[in-house]
């Protein structure tokens, strides 16, 4: 079994689900009393949220890089995962640091005599893409924070897998409301019928509001599954599958953990 390194706490609600589900799946596959060999670094999300709002992604990059390298060198983890979609905005650089030696390590205060090795970062975008391929989805509606919905860090990753994302520029007010629900409610453990109804209504109108309609709906925020539990939303002409990024990411983590 490989040792998992998780950077969590963004938010604690979704990290709870990561911890519980990773262990459940590992035990389900391995049996007996086996649970995951896992180190969880849960950060103070408020610090990161303030940096997000001020646009200081370089500071976020530096902080997450330190956390990732700490899991590898101090925790002796065999691979790392960031338990949130939005922070994958800096995932390419954080993941790259786990592969590069000397000068990068020194900048992050890792001792020069500790070599960096080929430690993978399990990217949530690749996990989502695998699920898209399973259901044959080539054009998707990507939901999440305003960063995930309006910026291209996840969209580009999906594009590398030949998956197109729908432009939400005509739905800025709806995107703002989804972002508000995530940060002001779900990240604090608040789940309301009103917010659930809003999200379901928003999804249901897309088969008629988008041409052609999406092949799948991506819950591209690790808290959104708190609002939607069904596996599909009925469109006018067909059922559109829902892909939960959290579940997809967890499956990839467990698969890598047990790959020996």
The residue ranges of DSSP E strands in the chain, in sequence order, are 4-8, 38-42, 79-82, 139-143, 164-165, 216-219, 232-234, 239-244
Q: Considering 15, 84, 165, 222, which one is annotated as catalytic?
A: 84
In the chain, the largest separation of any two C-alpha atoms, in whole Å, equals 61
What end-to-end distance do the CA atoms of the chain give, in Å? Answer: 6
Which of 77, 132, 187, 221 is the catalytic position? Answer: 221
Instruction: Answer yes or no: 221 catalytic.
Output: yes
The two tokens of residue 46 are: 């408020």
Q: Round to whole Å and give the CA distance between 36 and 53.
A: 35
- Rounded CA separation 25/2 (Å): 14
Catalogue the active-site residues.
84, 221
């Amino acid at each position: 079994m490989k040792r998992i390194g998780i950077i969590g706490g963004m938010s604690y609600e979704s990290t709870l689900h990561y911890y519980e589900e990773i262990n459940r799946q590992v035990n389900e596959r391995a049996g007996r009393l086996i649970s995951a060999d896992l180190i969880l670094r849960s950060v103070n999300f408020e610090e990161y949220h303030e940096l997000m709002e001020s646009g200081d992604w370089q500071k976020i990059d530096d902080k997450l890089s330190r956390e990732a390298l700490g899991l590898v060198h101090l925790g002796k983890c065999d691979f790392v995962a960031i338990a949130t979609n939005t922070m994958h905005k800096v995932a390419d650089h954080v993941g790259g640091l786990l592969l590069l030696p000397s000068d990068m390590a020194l900048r992050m205060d890792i001792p020069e005599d500790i070599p960096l090795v080929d430690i993978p970062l399990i990217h949530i975008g690749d996990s989502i893409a695998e699920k898209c391929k399973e259901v044959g989805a080539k054009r998707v509606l990507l939901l999440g924070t305003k960063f995930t919905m309006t910026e291209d860090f996840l969209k580009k990753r999906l594009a590398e897998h030949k998956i197109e994302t729908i432009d939400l520029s005509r739905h800025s007010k709806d995107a703002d409301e989804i972002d508000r629900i995530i940060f002001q409610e779900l990240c604090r453990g608040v789940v309301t019928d009103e917010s659930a109804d809003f999200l379901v209504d928003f999804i249901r109108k897309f088969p008629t509001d988008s041409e052609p309609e999406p092949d799948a709906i991506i819950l591209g925020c690790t808290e959104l599954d708190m609002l939607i539990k069904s596996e599909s939303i009925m469109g006018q002409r067909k059922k559109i599958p829902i892909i939960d990024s959290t579940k997809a990411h967890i499956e990839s983590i467990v698969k890598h953990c047990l790959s020996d």
